[in-house]
């Protein structure tokens, strides 16, 4: 610690060079953090959420407005559509009307649910048990874990939007990228309400993400002049199409990142070498006074690591601010789900900074620490 | 025989440039007593700095022994030698060689960082050293804010702050005007007389050398008695 002053004072030796070196590290680490976040987001997109092959059809006016049951068959006729499942938001109260008891509840067509939500994993037995029993329900694993539900548990919901309070038996637990929903039979609610035949949304499965724009257009055209015009939206088809176009974007981004970091390391090494060369005599004096080569090496390396670390920290903070608080993140999020600068990304950024500091400062510091005192002192004389 | 501090025995040093051997010191024998103030003179290139470096333990001879305080320092490893220098040798250079980014105080404190002294103890030692050289009011000044003479005094404070046995000075007044040079020489003399430091001072300048108790001449790698003494008497305490 008593050497810290020595290190910080040396940073001020050539302020312009120190700041330029710091900023060059900042720029490269900022780029790297961005690329890392993009790669991470790409990873989570390609890790099938299913969203890229799915559309949601709803009324063009409001989510509260309904569509007739007959739309289901018509949507299924559109080429590129492989499955359709009507799904209504139930929004009942579980136990108490408190935020901690709130979760997504849908009453759906039990037969087609798994065709549309094809990413759900569930055992054939549980799936069959759910589909065969009118009062059966399934829950996502995360949700079941949250409330400690087990197969066979009875779950009672109190209707708020509808005058129906279902008493359901949990027959299955599914897993998937998003396993936080609760599903029960559309039949149950329809029957209790005297079969009004109203559907809040149709979930539509596509043969391929590429069909999305055309199918969306065709569905909305089909109902345009009816009493209940529709609005078809995509979960993430757009993002998927965008990235399938870019091809091996991950490899490209990773490669560019490496080149940038490598270049900055060279620039940093040059700055550190200049700085060390100017100080050969001083280093020789310090060694004459009894400073061991190891200590000199540590001091010089600490300098370059500190410069790089400050630069890297600035970059990490800048990335966080720019992408989160300024809202660039949400702009990018249109293309990339889950685009954010995570703590992991920040840690990688700082780790890379330290590495840049060590590598760029390493050789100059090593050379300086090993100079002969006599030669170092002769440089001026 | 007086109390011997430094004893050089058949010391030879040569440099090799390409294939040619450049002899610098040829079989030097030299004994210096504790408390001595010795001036080392000789033409440029005669090997004065080289000899001083060997005594100060920053260079090693090709053969021979350099015994200081009964210890043959040519047998020490790099690490041991660094420790030894920190304890026993104070350096004064022609160009002061202060660290420009450190204040006068921090420059003087530098050798103390290697000790286990607490911060407040270090402060005590630094201020004492600065007061010996008469610069306690300049502790916050940086080298570029000081005159050459003041810089050299700070450098002297740095050399004495660890209270070493031996001070080596390589042309300490070589870069100073006559008045500053005189002040520095008086100061060095005081360090010898009041603080009993053993001092070896390389100089070109006969007037500077006249402050010393004894003068030895180095010419073509050999110590000569002409115009000075070879073996020098102990200082009178
Ligand atoms: N590192 C070195 N390599 C080659 N020759 C050297 C080296 N250091 C000193 N010399 C030579 O050794 C001789 C003595 O040098 P030095 O001790 O500096 O003399 P002085 O201090 O008396 O002027 C000179 O001829 C010098 O050129
Ligand atoms: Mg010399």
Decide: A309 and A360 in contact? Cβ < 8 Å: no
- Taking CA atoms only, the protein residue closest to ligand 1 atom 24 is B45
- Binned at pLDDT 50, 70 and 90, residue B222 comes out as confident
Residue A242 located in a structural domain: no
| Residue of A12, A292, A373 with shortest CB distance to B79 | A292
The domain boundary, picked from A179, A195, A228, lies at A228
Task: Give Dmax over CA atoms of chain B in angstroms.
Answer: 54
Task: Report the C-alpha gap between B235 and B237 in whole angstroms.
Answer: 6
Contact A292 B82 (CB under 8 A): yes
Identify whether residues A65 and A198 lie together within a single domain: yes
Mutation target for A interface from B82, B107, B144: give the one with most A CBs within 10 A.
Answer: B82
Contact B82 A285 (CB under 8 A): no
- All residue ranges of chain A with pLDDT < 70 are 40-50, 235-250, 324-340, 379-381
Number of domains in chain A: 2
Strand positions, DSSP E, chain B: 4-17, 20-33, 37-41, 63-68, 71-72, 89-92, 166-170, 198-202, 214-219, 222-224
Identify whether residues A198 and A320 lie together within a single domain: no
The domain boundary, picked from A166, A196, A228, lies at A228
Identify whether residues A68 and A191 lie together within a single domain: yes
| Residue of A289, A292, A293 with shortest CB distance to B111 | A289
Residue A18 located in a structural domain: yes
Assess whether pLDDT exceeds 60 at residue B232. Answer: no
Q: Does the model's ipTM exceed the 0.90 cut? A: yes
The domain boundary, picked from A228, A259, A279, lies at A228
**By the CB < 8 Å criterion, does A282 face chain B?**
yes
Nearest CA in chain A to B108: A289
Nearest CA in chain B to A285: B97
Tens-place pLDDT, residues B169-198: 999 999 999 999 999 999 999 999 999 999
From the CA of B169, the nearest ligand is 2
Please tell me the predicted confidence (pLDDT) of residue A76: 95
Nearest CA in chain A to B115: A290
Average pLDDT value for chain B: 91
Please tell me the predicted confidence (pLDDT) of residue B231: 42
| Residue of B53, B85, B91 with shortest CB distance to A374 | B53
Indicate if ligand 1 lies below 6 Å from the C-beta of B15.
Answer: yes
Decide: A365 and A297 in contact? Cβ < 8 Å: yes
Decide: A108 and A85 in contact? Cβ < 8 Å: yes
DSSP state of B46: S
Residue A289 located in a structural domain: yes
Residue A236 located in a structural domain: no
Identify whether residues A41 and A65 lie together within a single domain: no
Contact B82 A291 (CB under 8 A): yes
Residue A348 located in a structural domain: yes
Chain A residue numbers touching B86 (CB-CB < 8 A): 289-290
Mean pLDDT computed over B24-29: 92
Decide: B196 and B36 in contact? Cβ < 8 Å: no
Residue A202 located in a structural domain: yes
| Residue of A10, A290, A373 with shortest CB distance to B114 | A290
Identify whether residues A270 and A142 lie together within a single domain: no
Share of chain A above pLDDT 70, in %: 88
Identify whether residues A260 and A351 lie together within a single domain: yes
Measured CA distances, A330 to A29, A192, A326, A337 (Å): 21, 42, 9, 9
**By the CB < 8 Å criterion, does A111 face chain B?**
no
Indicate if ligand 1 lies below 6 Å from the C-beta of B206.
Answer: no
**Ion ligand 2 nearby residues (CB, 5 A):** B 49
Pocket test for ligand 1, best of A280, A372, A374 (most atoms within 8 A of CB): A374
Size of interface A-B (CB pairs under 8 A): 62
In angstroms, what is the span from residue B14 Cα to ligand 1's centroid? Answer: 9
- The domain containing residue A184 runs over which residues? 61-228
Identify whether residues A174 and A273 lie together within a single domain: no
What is the 3 state secondary structure string of A118-153?
CCCECCHHHHHHHHHCCCEEEEEHHHHHHHCCCCCC
Task: Report the C-alpha gap between A286 and B113 in whole angstroms.
Answer: 11
> How distant is the Cα of A265 from the closest Cα of chain B, in angstroms?
26
Instruction: Quote the tokens at residue B3.
Output: 């109390």
- Binned at pLDDT 50, 70 and 90, residue B36 comes out as very high
Contact A381 B94 (CB under 8 A): yes
Find the angle CA(B57)-CA(B62)-CA(B67) to the nearest 5 degrees. 45
- CA R_g for chain B: 18
Task: Report the C-alpha gap between A52 and A86 in whole angstroms.
Answer: 19
Structural domains of chain B in order of their starting residue, each with its CATH number? 35-62+77-236 (3.40.50.300)
Residue A235 located in a structural domain: no
Nearest CA in chain B to A287: B82
Identify whether residues A354 and A264 lie together within a single domain: yes
Residue A50 located in a structural domain: no
Please tell me the predicted confidence (pLDDT) of residue A172: 96
**By the CB < 8 Å criterion, does A15 face chain B?**
no
Please tell me the predicted confidence (pLDDT) of residue A178: 77
Indicate if ligand 1 lies below 6 Å from the C-beta of B45.
Answer: yes
Task: Report the C-alpha gap between B231 and B16 in whole angstroms.
Answer: 30
Identify whether residues A74 and A206 lie together within a single domain: yes
Instruction: Tell which atom from ligand 1 comes closest to the C-alpha of B53.
Output: 17
Assess whether pLDDT exceeds 60 at residue B228. Answer: no
Indicate if ligand 1 lies below 6 Å from the C-beta of B50.
Answer: yes
Task: Report the C-alpha gap between A25 and A360 in whole angstroms.
Answer: 11
Mean pLDDT computed over B28-51: 93
> How distant is the Cα of B231 from the closest Cα of chain A, in angstroms?
27
Task: Name residues whose C-beta falls within 8 Å of residue A312's C-beta, 6 or more positions apart in sequence.
Answer: A25, A26, A29, A349, A350, A352, A353, A354, A356
Identify whether residues A9 and A35 lie together within a single domain: yes
Chain A residue numbers touching B59 (CB-CB < 8 A): 373-374
- Binned at pLDDT 50, 70 and 90, residue B234 comes out as very low
Identify whether residues A291 and A347 lie together within a single domain: yes
| Residue of A5, A13, A281 with shortest CB distance to B106 | A5
Pocket test for ligand 1, best of B12, B46, B168 (most atoms within 8 A of CB): B46
Q: 3-state DSSP helix/strand/coil percent for chain A, to nearest 5? A: 55, 15, 25
Identify whether residues A264 and A189 lie together within a single domain: no
């Amino acid at each position: 610690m008593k050497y810290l002053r020595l290190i910080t004072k040396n940073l001020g030796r050539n302020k312009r060079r120190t700041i330029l070196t710091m900023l060059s590290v900042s720029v490269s680490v900022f780029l790297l953090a961005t690329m890392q976040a993009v790669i991470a987001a790409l990873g989570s997109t390609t890790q099938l959420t299913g969203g890229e092959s799915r559309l949601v059809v709803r009324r063009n006016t409001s989510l509260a407005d309904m569509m007739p049951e007959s739309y289901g068959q018509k949507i299924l006729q559109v080429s590129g559509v492989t499955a359709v499942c009507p799904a209504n938001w139930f929004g009942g109260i579980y136990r108490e009307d408190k935020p901690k008891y709130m979760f997504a509840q849908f009453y759906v067509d039990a037969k087609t649910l798994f065709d549309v939500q094809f990413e759900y994993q569930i055992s054939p037995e549980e799936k069959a048990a759910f589909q065969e029993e009118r009062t059966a329900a399934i829950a996502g694993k995360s949700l079941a874990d949250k409330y400690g539900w087990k197969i066979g548990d009875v779950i009672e919901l109190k209707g708020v939007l509808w005058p129906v309070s279902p008493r359901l038996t949990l027959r299955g637990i599914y897993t998937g990228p998003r396993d936080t929903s609760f599903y029960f039979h559309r039949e149950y609610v329809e029957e209790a309400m005297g079969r009004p035949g109203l559907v809040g949304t149709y979930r539509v499965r596509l043969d391929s993400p590429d069909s999305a724009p055309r199918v969306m257009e065709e569905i909305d055209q089909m109902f345009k002049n009816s009493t209940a015009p529709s609005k078809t939206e995509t979960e993430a088809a757009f993002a998927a199409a965008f990235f399938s176009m870019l091809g091996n974007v991950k490899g490209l981004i990773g490669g560019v990142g490496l080149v940038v970091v490598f270049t900055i390391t060279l620039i940093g090494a040059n700055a550190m070498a200049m700085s060390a060369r100017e100080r050969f005599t001083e280093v020789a004096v310090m060694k004459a006074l009894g400073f061991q080569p190891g200590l000199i090496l540590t001091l010089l390396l600490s300098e370059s690591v500190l410069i790089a670390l400050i630069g890297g920290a600035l970059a990490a903070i800048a990335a966080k601010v720019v992408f989160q608080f300024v809202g660039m993140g949400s702009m990018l999020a249109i293309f990339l789900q889950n685009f954010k600068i995570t703590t992991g990304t920040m840690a990688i950024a700082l780790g890379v900074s330290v590495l840049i500091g060590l590598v760029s400062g390493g050789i100059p510091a090593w050379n300086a620490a090993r100079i002969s005192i006599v030669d170092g002192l002769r440089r001026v004389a | 025989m007086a109390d011997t501090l430094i004893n050089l025995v058949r010391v030879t040093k040569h440099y090799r440039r390409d294939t040619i051997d450049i002899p610098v010191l040829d079989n030097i024998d030299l004994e210096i007593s504790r408390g001595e103030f010795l001036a080392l003179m000789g033409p440029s290139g005669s090997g004065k700095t080289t000899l001083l470096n060997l005594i100060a333990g920053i260079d090693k001879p090709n053969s021979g022994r350099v015994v200081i305080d009964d210890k043959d320092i040519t047998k020490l490893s790099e690490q041991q030698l660094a420790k030894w220098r920190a304890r026993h040798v104070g350096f004064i250079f022609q160009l002061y060689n202060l660290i420009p980014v450190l204040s006068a105080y921090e420059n003087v404190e530098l050798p103390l960082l290697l000790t286990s002294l607490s911060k407040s103890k270090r402060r005590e030692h630094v201020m004492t050293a600065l007061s010996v050289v008469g610069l306690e009011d300049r502790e916050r000044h940086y080298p570029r804010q000081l005159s050459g003479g003041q810089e050299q005094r700070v450098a002297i404070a740095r050399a004495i702050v660890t209270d070493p046995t031996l001070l080596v000075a390589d042309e300490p007044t070589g870069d100073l005007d006559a008045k500053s040079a005189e002040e520095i020489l008086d100061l060095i003399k005081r360090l010898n007389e009041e603080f009993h430091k053993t001092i070896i001072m390389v100089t070109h300048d006969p007037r500077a050398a006249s402050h010393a108790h004894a003068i030895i001449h180095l010419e073509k790698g050999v110590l000569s008695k002409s115009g000075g003494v070879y073996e020098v008497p102990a200082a009178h305490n």
